[in-house]
Every structure is written in structure tokens, then in C-alpha cells.
Amino acid sequence: MPFSIAFMPTTATPPPPAVQQSLQTVVSANARRIAKDAGTWRTGDGATFKLADDTVSLKRLSQGLCGIIFDVAQQTNSYLVMTGSDGTLIKMEGSVGETPGDLPKAVTIKNAPKLCERLRVNLRDWDHFVRLAQADGTLGSDEQPLEPPADPGTEVRLTNDPSGIAAGCEAAFKDMNATIGWKTLRTVVSQSPQWGVVWRTDIAPGDDPASTFRDTCWRRPRDHGFAFSTRPLTMFDPAASIEPLKASD
């Protein structure tokens, strides 16, 4: 799974189509599309990356690519969120708008070279995480996540879990969510043919559905430790969004 950088909205960010248009405009002016793959681009200094909706995915950084990311975030007043990030939000100097009130205050980056310095640290940490995750079965050889779907779908719902997986998952998330003040909306425990017992819960800082996240927890097959994933329900790409857990679940 490549290192990915998503442009997330502040209070001054335009609607998603405008963000995607800015991405396309800046990328087209500073990179060349690779003919065999319409979603892949190469900068003038040789960095190859993929562009999908509001997200740039890459294997390595360059000053040219950092310049693209900086310009897009600045022009759209977005903040950056990275895979494997330490949780620090990043904004560009000259952008306006506030990040969500329930999240930490964003760190402001002065220019594209400084952004590159910061992103290289995160990329190095991400590459280290990928190697460890492949070793414990969290990621496959193709670097794609080995995890249950975020939506339980037709999985059989469980009202009792003698395996202890659901209890262990709930305990792992309980203190963390209580610390940040997020409330649990609904929890579903199900039996997956592939993943065994899967625990899922929707959490949110408030009543706005757009701020709801899905925590998913299951047991890793290799070392039997717990594995976790978290994602928002509402994505920039509507096709990637998922519905809240239902009362009937």
C-alpha cells in the first residue's frame, strides 16, 4: 500500500468537486500523465505518483511533488492527513480556515521544501510500518490491507461472543475514545467466514453524521493479537462512503 496524502476540508475549503478540480489543474501544470495508466503521473524531477479524487499516493518524494501538494493544500485551504501519520495535522502558510474543533490544532508549514522535510519523516516511518505489517499478516505482499470490510454486510450477527474477541476489542478502544471525548453510537459484533469474530463500532465527536468514524477490530491470524482499523463513514468520493450501523444490526 503506497504512502497516501489526503486533502481534508477546513471551514474555508470549497466543495469536493472544486478540490478535485484544483488538484487536476495543479498536477496538469507540473507533471505529465503516464500514458499506460491515466491515474499515474510523473513530475519533471522524476517522482511518480497516483492521483485519485482527493488523495495523492506515492512511493517516494521529490521537491516537485512536494510543490504540487503544497500548492493544492494552500489553494483549497485544506489540511493534510497521511497514512501512518503520527496524528499531526498539517496546513500550509497562507491558507485560511479552521480544522475541526475536536481535532488537534494543525502545524503550519512555511513552504514546499519544509513540507518535503516533514513528509520524508512520515514516509520513512510508513515504510518501516509496512515491513512490520507484512511480517505479522496485516498487509499482504502487494502491500494491500488484509482486513475485514468496514461494513458487516450479510455477516451473521452475534449476541454472545465466547471467544473474548469482542470484549478485548471494546476494552482496547474504550479508554482511547473516552480520553478524546468521543461517544459510541452503535456497536455490532458479527461472524465473518474469512475473519472470524469482527467487532465494529461507530463513534463521533458530536451529532453531525459527517463526523462519524467506524472502528473495526478483529484477531490477526498469525500471532492471534488484535488488529484495528479506523475510517470515516463519509468520504470525498461518495462511492467510498459507508452507511452507519443500523439498529436492526
Q: So what's the pLDDT on residue 144?
A: 78
Length reported for the chain: 249
pTM: 0.65
What nine digits make up the cell of 102? 475536536
| pLDDT for 214 | 93
Grid cell at residue 183: 461517544
Asked whether residue 232 is domain-assigned, the answer is yes
Q: What is the mean pLDDT of residues 161-169?
A: 94
Collect all residues with Cβ–Cβ distance below 8 Å to 140 and sequence separation of at least 6.
134, 146
Residue 73 contacts residue 92 (beta carbons within 8 Å): yes
Classify residue 246: in a domain, yes or no. Answer: no
Residue 142 lies in a domain: no
Cell of 24: 487536476
Q: How far apart are CA 203 and CA 85, in angstroms?
A: 20
Give the count of domains, the chain.
Answer: 2
- What is the residue range of 29's domain? 3-136
Report if residue 193 sits inside a domain: yes
Is a pLDDT exceeding 90 seen at residue 209?
Answer: no
Q: How far apart are CA 138 and CA 206, in angstroms?
A: 31
80 to each of 95, 189, 220, how far by Cα in Å?
12, 32, 30
With beta carbons less than 8 A apart as the criterion, state whether 60 and 7 touch.
no
Which residues are within 8 A (CB) of 172 and not within 5 positions of it... i.e. 6 or more apart?
A: 217, 226, 228
CA-based R_g, the chain, Å: 19
Q: Is the pLDDT of residue 1 over 80?
A: no
* pLDDT per position as a tens digit, 214-233: 999 999 876 678 888 888 89
pLDDT for 248 equals 65
Boundary of a domain, candidates 89, 106, 136? 136
Residue 249 lies in a domain: no
What distance in Å separates the CA atoms of residue 9 and residue 109, rounded to the nearest whole number? Answer: 17
